[in-house]
Amino acid sequence: MSNHFHLLVQVPNAEESRAALDDEEILRRLGLVSTGDRVEEARLMIARMKEEPSKKGYLEYRERLLSRMYDVSVFMQELKKRFTWWYNKRVGRKGPLWEDRFKSVLVEGDEKVLLTMAAYIDLNPVRAGLVKDPKDYRWSGYGEAVAGKRERRLGLMRACGPMTRGEARY
C-alpha cells in the first residue's frame, strides 16, 4: 500500500515466554534491534550486576530489557523508526514517513475471526486497485505462500487453522 501497511502478528504470552529466556537469549534478541556496542554494554552490565551480593540491581536491569519484548506498541515503534531511517538514508530524504500512529486490533476467539482478518489484509491491494489477484501483490504474505515459500505457507496454514481432508476454506 502506498500510505499504510497491515501486519497480522501472534504475540506469545509475555510472562511464560519471558520466564523462559536466559541472559544470552535476551542479549541475542537485543542484538537484532540494537548495535553491537549496545549489546556489549548490556553484557557487561549483566556480568557486573550478577557479581553483587544483592541480585536486586541485576533483576531490575533484566526486567528493563525484558519489558520491551512482547509489547506490540514497542515493536511497531521500533519497526517504523528503523524503516524510516533506512528509507530516508536510501533515498536521501529527511523527516517522518508515517502520518498517523499505528492502530491495533485484538483478534481472538473463533478461528473464523482470524481467517477473516487475514483475508481482509490479503484483499486490501485488490480493493485499492493495485492488483486483480492478491497473489500478485509484491508485498503480500499470501502471494509468497502461493509461490511456495515455506515460512509463508506455514503462516497461512496457521491462520486458516487445521483442515480435514477435502475441506475447502474459501
Per-residue confidence in pLDDT tens, the chain, 170 aa: 777 888 888 888 888 888 889 999 999 988 887 777 889 999 999 999 998 888 899 999 998 888 888 888 888 888 888 889 999 999 999 998 887 888 888 888 777 888 888 888 889 999 999 999 988 988 888 888 888 888 877 777 776 665 544 544 44
Q: What is the grid cell recorded at 147?
A: 509461490
pLDDT at position 24 is 93
Nearest Cα to 102, choosing from 1, 4, 2? 4
List, in sequence order, the alpha helices (H) in the chain.
14-19, 23-33, 36-51, 56-66, 72-91, 111-127, 141-146, 150-160
Q: Report the alpha-carbon distance of residue 164 to residue 16 in Å, rounded.
A: 31
Q: Does residue 109 sit in helix, strand or coil?
A: coil
User: Where are the domains positioned within the chain?
Assistant: 22-68, 73-160
